[in-house]
Amino acid sequence: MTDNRFTGPILQVEHLKKSFGAHEVLKDISFSVEKGDVVSIIGSSGSGKSTLLRCINFLEQPTDGQIFFQGKNAEHDWPRGQYHANVGMVFQSFNLFNNMTVLQNCTEGQIRVLKRSKKEAEEKALMYLEKVGMTPYIKARPAQLSGGQKQRVAIARALAMDPEVLLFDEPTSALDPEMVGEVLGVMRDLADSGLTMLVVTHEMAFARDVSSRVIFMDAGVITEDAPPAEIFTNPKHPRTREFLSRVLEK
Amino acid sequence: MNLPKTFFGWVGLLIEQYGTMFLRGTGYTLIIALSGTVIGFVIGLLVAILKTIPVVPKDGWLKKIGLKVLNVILNVYVEVFRGTPMIVQSMVIYYGSMSMGIRMPVLFAAILIVSINTGAYMAEIIRGGIISVDKGQKEAATAIGMTHWQSMVRVVLPQAVRNIMPSIGNEFVVNIKDSSVLNVISVNELYFTGKSAAGTYYRYFEAFFIIACIYLVLTFTITRLLRLLEKKMDGSANYTIYGSQSDSKASIKLPREGDVPLD
């Protein structure tokens, strides 16, 4: 269903706004993502980073604005299931299906949404589970895994849908420091393989070393959007400078 | 005929004379309670799925109004059938339909009444079960493109149902006991047979002592069976690690047709 001839920005967010009651979380957000971009979204807690990601795949309904995927309006011109299959999501709290095994977690979407056969889905799932180093655990249930293992399965589950874009919502924030590395390693490999990624993160090293672009958000607006070298060495906005000096101090 | 002098003498006599009738009554009670609980459970699931259909702004007005109306109807159903006694519902439904010219077989009427009554309770129990499942489960299902129906049936409800198994068991036990009120429409269930047996010799204590024992055996057995079912639902506490744990690249044999399935 994806259009390979399309050459414009793969994902385009235009004047996106989101309010929860009187509280305006996102104020007029616009940016675009090219195919193969790895965009890190950084900023303080409460700046609207996660809400932005959740609006992009409609887990939250945007109050206003438009999202375009491959040039077509994501809300009106894409069937919702197709859009979700193309724009995957990895959650902070993993959200693996607790009633299924690791393998079933990775085949369920393929079978139900992409209508793949069970055999085809299992082969694909095993391929990605191997990529994240989780093949030995295909029969385990989520409750039997460590946080890092769960997140690697969650990444395999998202990849098994063959998405064009993968959204990561603070994928390492719920992990022990020891397990952060294993998940970041997987994400680094994905970035190298050319997957388009949008990563909300507090891992400054990842943002600096892996991403092709860094977006800094503050109080519901994008205050800076530049290559990592520029943001980390020469931040223009005072808020960016303040934030970076605080997080890089440690 | 020599009439017994002792309590247990009477019990023995009643069992001897009415044993098969008691057994048939037990059968009726079980059929009514079991089908009532199962059908009520299905009604509850449907009500819960329908009540949780999300509305998004791009939906047309027809869908929005339709869902509103549906919600009102479902709320009225739950309120009416939870808010009135089943004994009254039995009279209204059975004699009401009769006055409209529909003569239902009593067993059918009994199952119908218990089912819709249970459905109203189940709807609320299942709603509670759905609330008990982490919101992230539904979100993850949505995020890989599953529809509301798919994510409910495949992800949310299996977990919700596991969480509410104790309440479902309660409902079954309650139905075994409460189907006794159906004697008002002359269903041959257990309580009704007790009343018939007692009437012959005016031995109410002895007859209903037997009936009480049967009820207790039924409910006790069923509680144990449900406990076993819960254990089975939880699945094995162990799992197999394939290949070697230290070498994640260790080879895995892909499942082929004819192999033992992976799950």
Is the residue at B132 inside a domain? yes
With 60 as the cut, is the pLDDT of residue A192 above it?
Answer: yes
Is the residue at B261 inside a domain? no
Q: Are A106 and A183 in contact (CB under 8 A)?
A: no
Is the residue at B192 inside a domain? yes
Of the partner residues B145, B158, B244, the one whose CB lies closest to the CB of residue A81: B145
Is the residue at B193 inside a domain? yes
Distance from CA of B158 to the nearest CA of A (A): 7
With 70 as the cut, is the pLDDT of residue B22 above it?
Answer: yes
Whole-number pLDDT of residue A84 = 95
Chain B neighbors of A88, CB-CB under 8 A: 143-144
How many domains is chain B partitioned into structurally?
A: 1
Say if A140 is an interface residue toward chain B (CB within 8 Å).
yes
CA-based radius of gyration for chain B: 25
Say if A123 is an interface residue toward chain B (CB within 8 Å).
yes
A225-246 residues labelled b (16+ CB within 10 A) or e (exposed): bbebeebbeebeeebbeebbee
Give which of A51, A112, A118 to mutate to test B binding, by max B Cβ within 10 Å. A112
Cβ pair A122:B255 closer than 8 A: yes
Chain B neighbors of A161, CB-CB under 8 A: 144-145
Largest CA distance in chain A: 55
Say what percent of chain A tops pLDDT 70: 98
Say if B146 is an interface residue toward chain A (CB within 8 Å).
yes
Chain A neighbors of B262, CB-CB under 8 A: 101, 103, 122, 138-139
pLDDT digit string (tens) for A11-63?
999 999 999 988 999 999 999 999 999 999 999 988 999 999 999 999 999 99
Nearest-10 crossing angle of helices B106-132, B61-83 = 120
Q: Are A238 and A216 in contact (CB under 8 A)?
A: no
Cβ pair A130:B249 closer than 8 A: yes
Higher pLDDT pick, A42 / B244: A42
Host domain of residue B57: 7-253
Q: Which of residues 81-120 of A touch B (CB under 8 A)?
A: 81-85, 88-89, 91, 93-101, 103-104, 108-109, 112-114, 119
SS (H, E, C) B65-111: HHHHHHHHHHHHHHHHHHHCCHHHHHHHHHHHHHHCCCCCCHHHHHH
pLDDT digit string (tens) for B69-81?
999 999 999 999 9
Cβ pair A126:B136 closer than 8 A: no
Q: Per-residue pLDDT averaged across A230-240, rounded?
A: 90
Say if B142 is an interface residue toward chain A (CB within 8 Å).
yes
Burial class (CB in 10 A: 0-12, 13-18, 19+), B228: exposed
Say what percent of chain A tops pLDDT 90: 82
With 50 as the cut, is the pLDDT of residue A234 above it?
Answer: yes
Higher pLDDT pick, A149 / A5: A149
Q: Is the pTM of this model over 0.80?
A: yes
With 50 as the cut, is the pLDDT of residue B263 above it?
Answer: no
- Which range is least confidently modeled, A169-178, A188-197, B57-66, B67-76? B57-66
Whole-number pLDDT of residue B246 = 46
Distance from CA of B249 to the nearest CA of A (A): 7
The pairs formed by B3-6 with CB atoms below 8 angstroms and a separation of 24 or more are B3/B201
Q: Are B194 and B208 in contact (CB under 8 A)?
A: yes
Is the residue at B203 inside a domain? yes
Q: Which residue in chain A has the smallest CA separation from B133? A: A98
Higher pLDDT pick, B201 / B175: B175
Whole-number pLDDT of residue A5 = 66
Whole-number pLDDT of residue A46 = 87
Q: What is the mean pLDDT of chain B?
A: 87
Cβ pair B136:A158 closer than 8 A: no
The pairs formed by A208-213 with CB atoms below 8 angstroms and a separation of 24 or more are A208/A232, A210/A38, A210/A40, A211/A38, A211/A39, A211/A40, A212/A36, A212/A37, A212/A38, A212/A39, A213/A37, A213/A38, A213/A39, A213/A40
pLDDT digit string (tens) for B126-165?
999 999 999 999 999 999 999 999 999 999 999 999 999 9
Q: Per-residue pLDDT averaged across B159-172, rounded?
A: 92
pLDDT-derived band at B259, boundaries 50, 70, 90: low
With 90 as the cut, is the pLDDT of residue B32 above it?
Answer: yes
Is the residue at B19 inside a domain? yes
Q: Are B161 and B122 in contact (CB under 8 A)?
A: no
Q: Per-residue pLDDT averaged across B43-61, rounded?
A: 85
Q: Which domain CATH number covers B215?
A: 1.10.3720.10
Distance CA B67, CA A230 (A): 52
Is the residue at B213 inside a domain? yes
Say if B253 is an interface residue toward chain A (CB within 8 Å).
no
Whole-number pLDDT of residue B254 = 53
Cβ pair A137:B241 closer than 8 A: yes
Is the residue at B260 inside a domain? no
With 60 as the cut, is the pLDDT of residue A177 above it?
Answer: yes
Say if B241 is an interface residue toward chain A (CB within 8 Å).
yes
Question: C-alpha dihedral over A164, A167, A172, A174, to 10 degrees?
Answer: -130
